[in-house]
Structure 1
Amino acid sequence: MTKTTSLIIAFIALSLLPGTQKAWAETSYVADSFEITLRTGPNNTSKIIKMLKSDEPLEVLGEEGGWLSVRTQDGDQGWAFKRFISQDLPKSIQLQKLTERNEQLSALSGGASDQLDALDKENSSLKETLANIQEEHQQLKEKYTTLESDAANVLVLKNKYSDTEEMLTKANTELETFSKENEELRASSNLKWFLSGAGVISVAWITGYLMGLSRRRQKSSRLV
């Protein structure tokens, strides 16, 4: 914003301030670029009390003909020619007020700029914090996915272990049954072999006994 633009804005703002026009109406000023006389009476022949400088504020007390009864800020009272007195705020005072207003606006603008910078920094900090939180969230999400996958694998392994344990138990049962049957079969085979062997021995003994008996009978027959 240029200085000229700031002055214009300040002038507009100043003109809108309440009570400004009333203050100007109550106070009059010596016109610009003039130095006039303050006289003891409302005519050019009256004694000069003092010279009034341009832009000097005056309190208007009354009017007679083309003269105004006025009082200065120093307390001097007299008459001044009305044509050289104006109720309009002098340009120099307007410029001074506009300059002061411009400085105020500049200060406000500077403060707003500082606040804007602070807000920008805070916004950047918040963005950085948000990015960090999003990154942490992503990491936690990945860890959760891994744990979820591991948990599923653990469940599968557990089911496989249960199935394997069941198969092992069944195999042990079948092995015990097979072993028992095998023992029974062995026992049965041994008995058969034993009985077979005993039968062979019995037949041989009986055969031998009968043959011996036959021989004795033959000997007895011969003796007779």
Structure 2
Amino acid sequence: MTARQSPAQARARRLAGAAIGITREAAGCQTGDGMGAVMMAPLVARCWWYASRKLALLSCCVSGTTIEQLSKGYSIPLFERIPQSATIAKAQADTLKTTIGCFLLEFCQGGSNTDTDYATYYPLLSQYFEDAKAAIKAEFAQTIDPFIEIVPISGMNLPGTGIMDVCRAQVDYVMATPGAYIPTVGYPAIDYGPHYSSNGERYVGAMRAKVRHRVITQGLAWKPLIMEKATIRGEQS
């Protein structure tokens, strides 16, 4: 008897079929502090059906940048780091005569847009991912979209405009986009400066790992804990 696959499991299996086999030098490690950063990771490690595949992380971080600055067509071509990194990885894979594909696009941004409203941020975020997916798929010659993981914003960088406008835009995007997810709306604890504290890093890392496992490995639906409505009962002076 064969277990039925969920859409997420089927996507993961197809993506893993075009997985990374790449040299250590090309894999590299992530750089930057993640504020205004995007990480592109062809992620296949610990997928039970392709345990022998290798994992590579292509870092396209640009610290402290807004969504406008990261977008395609901005005067300083920061966006081009994505296809440029993919080109390097593809060349390494070709040299090794192995297949390569982008499995996960990890996005850590929002803290530099604390004064941006929902109506401005949401379409920029949506277009950014459309452009990023198109660039990645073209470089790797793959037809399947990578998963998208949005990393929660840390306490000191939570939005100050509207009602958590950037956080709401990120949540609404993943809710409307198959293959996209966010572990939680934000990590509200006040830590040191704009970064997570050491305990905060552990908490967020553990949460991301659990959600990533549920979505990608187990193929389960995921919805972050969000307030959908509030009811006022009585009055208090």
* TM class by smaller structure: under 0.3
Higher strand share: 1
Question: Highest CA radius of gyration, 1 or 2?
Answer: 1
